[in-house]
Amino acid sequence: MKTIFDRSINGRLSPYQLESLANPRDFLPGGLIRKTPPDLPRVGELDVVRHFTGLSKRNFGVDSNFYPLGSCTMKYNPKFMEQIASLNGFTDLHPLLPQLKGAGLYTQGALQVIYELEDLLCRITGMEAYTLQPMAGAHGELTGAMLMAAYHNKKKNKKTTLIVPDSAHGTNPSSAAIAGYDVLTIKSRDGIIDPTALKQVLDNSVAGIMMTCPNTLGLFESHLPEIVDLIHSVDGLLYYDGANLNAILGRMLPGEAGFDVVHLNLHKTFGTPHGSGGPGSGPVGVNKKLEPFLPISRVVRLDDGQFFLNYAYPDSIGYIAPFYGNFGVMLKAYAYILRLGREGLLRVSENAVLSANYLRKKLEQHLHIPYNRICMHEFVASAVEQAKKGVRAVDIAKALLDRGHYAPTVYFPLIVKECLMMEPTETESKETLDVFVDDLVDILMKVDRDPETIRKSPQNTPVSRLDEVLAARNMQLCM
């Protein structure tokens, strides 16, 4: 496929291209004005439309295909949310507009959305207060770890270590390290945290624990009450990684369960688009003792009902994002929550768990499932038996691409060899799941009959099987 620059023909113009009626010198200092025209492609409108339509057909998207992508919740994004986020009253706002009186009239609606979304997330998770500023899940993790550090620094606690179980979300260790902590990993037992192993490493240097609950194996941490008591006994804090909130939405409030700080993924749980590095949003909620340390600014409501951004928090960890994070993502999540309501959010968790267990039972005769018991929203299978025959998890995943399904997460978590993590989400129909099972079983059957075809997959995608090491070292960004 040619790039848009390859399609360029010198002198060609769009029939709608008009000369600008404004003079740039009326708006910009002379030093900021280009001396030469930008090197833009010279193409007609039809060429532009066909180029980007062709690109869209090469992309794999949830609007056209199924994502059994464990750990990422690649679910359907309702289109009405895009309409909400596209309303002119929101898109035309400038972040430096006045907040109160006069021109502040135009910003009050946006500030109200932030204020009310924070309140909704508090109700959903049982926390005292939220910040919506973190711009991704890992950014929320880092913010949470920084809040934990601020709490301990204020108390002059000499805390140097954060515990991260081997079943936690993959970015937790790096977030803890960037926040300045030593990372201590404890091993699971039967797929969940072992309280005995936790006791052995627990001392007054422990600042807290970063937990994913349910964990990356799709299993609920059934020892949670004991873990909460152990961590709190050394004035440690419990951090809740909300990447897997789909499984417990409306069923468990992390704050009531004993967690001190929570991060969520609006781009996972609350239906907004996800992937390719953004857009994202990773709000962080805290209990009462951590509230003073939340980032500035914070939206508050005055006695007269007006909203404004308050900076007067002396113990705040400061700024963590420009302006106020990804406001468009917040709008979509706000609309999603209001549209579903309490009963709708309960159905999210019901269907997410039902779908995962349906897949697990359909596949248990064909793939090894190390922890084969009732799971939450996802489960981890293993291709160890197929690997003995020369077909690895990555081969199976790529073969699924030829069948029109995106690949499940492979080789994570690290505690399961040749793993395939599957998360069907709550938005897929039984018919879609059945087609996926049939195609996956057919691939597994071919391991004995035609393993070479599987190892060469994918064959029918725009880009076939790559040498992944070479591709990483010698990127070819144009085709």
Mapped to the 3 state alphabet, what secondary structure does 247-287 carry? HCCCCCCHHHHCCCEEECCHHHHCCCCCCCCCCCCCCEEEC
pLDDT at 466: 82
Do 267 and 377 belong to one domain? no
pLDDT at 474: 85
The domain that holds 444 is classified in CATH as 3.90.1150.10
Do 114 and 248 belong to one domain? yes
User: Which residue among 339, 368, 402 closes a domain?
Assistant: 339
Do 222 and 328 belong to one domain? yes
Q: Is 145 helix (H, G, I), strand (E, B) or coil?
A: helix
DSSP code per residue over 38-52: -------HHHHHHHH
Do 367 and 425 belong to one domain? yes
pLDDT at 17: 56
Quote the tokens at residue 11. 């002198």
- Give long-range contacts, CB 8 A cutoff, 24+ apart: 199-202: 199/230, 201/163, 202/230, 202/231, 202/233, 202/234, 202/236
Is 372 within the bounds of a domain? yes
Is 73 within the bounds of a domain? no
Q: Compute the distance between CA of residue 282 and CA of residue 131 in angstroms, rounded to an integer.
A: 9
Number of structural domains in the chain? 3
Contact 257, 228 (CB under 8 A): yes
Exposed, middle or buried: residue 38 (CB in 10 Å: 0-12, 13-18, 19+)? exposed
Residue with tokens 């909704």: 120
Is 66 within the bounds of a domain? no
Is 469 within the bounds of a domain? yes
pLDDT at 105: 78
Contact 380, 413 (CB under 8 A): yes
Is 478 within the bounds of a domain? no
Q: Which helix (H) or strand (E) holds 208?
A: strand 206-212
For residue 134, give the amino acid letter.
P
> Tens-of-pLDDT digits for all 479 residues of the chain?
888 999 999 888 765 556 666 787 788 888 888 888 888 888 888 888 999 999 888 888 888 899 998 878 888 889 999 999 999 999 999 888 888 766 667 899 999 999 999 999 999 999 999 999 999 899 999 999 999 999 999 999 999 999 999 999 889 999 999 999 999 999 999 999 999 999 999 999 999 999 999 999 999 999 999 999 999 999 999 999 999 999 999 999 999 999 999 999 998 899 887 765 557 899 999 999 999 999 999 999 999 899 999 999 999 999 999 888 899 999 999 999 999 999 999 999 999 999 999 999 999 999 999 999 999 999 999 999 999 999 999 999 999 999 999 999 999 999 999 999 999 999 999 999 999 999 999 999 999 999 999 999 999 998 888 887 888 888 776 54
Q: Compute the distance between CA of residue 352 and CA of residue 344 in angstroms, rounded to an integer.
A: 12
pLDDT at 19: 66
Is 420 within the bounds of a domain? yes
User: Which residue among 311, 339, 367 closes a domain?
Assistant: 339
Do 301 and 361 belong to one domain? no
Q: Compute the distance between CA of residue 118 and CA of residue 124 in angstroms, rounded to an integer.
A: 10
Do 324 and 425 belong to one domain? no
DSSP 8-state symbol, 291 = G
Domain of residue 21: give its range.
1-52
User: Which residue among 283, 307, 339 closes a domain?
Assistant: 339
- Give long-range contacts, CB 8 A cutoff, 24+ apart: 81-84: 81/271, 81/272, 81/331, 81/332, 81/335, 81/336, 82/332, 84/331, 84/332, 84/334, 84/335
Q: Which residues pair with 66 in a beta bridge?
A: 405
Do 195 and 305 belong to one domain? yes
Do 223 and 258 belong to one domain? yes
Do 233 and 358 belong to one domain? no
- Can you give the C-alpha Rg of the chain in angstroms? 25
pLDDT at 411: 93
Q: Compute the distance between CA of residue 112 and CA of residue 444 in angstroms, rounded to an integer.
A: 53
Is 28 within the bounds of a domain? yes
- Give long-range contacts, CB 8 A cutoff, 24+ apart: 15-20: 15/44, 15/45, 16/45
Do 308 and 421 belong to one domain? no
pLDDT at 278: 58
Contact 151, 290 (CB under 8 A): yes
Do 102 and 221 belong to one domain? yes
Buried b (16+ CB within 10 A) or exposed e, 282-298: bbbbbbeebbbbbbbbb
Do 385 and 412 belong to one domain? yes
DSSP 8-state symbol, 405 = B
Is 69 within the bounds of a domain? no
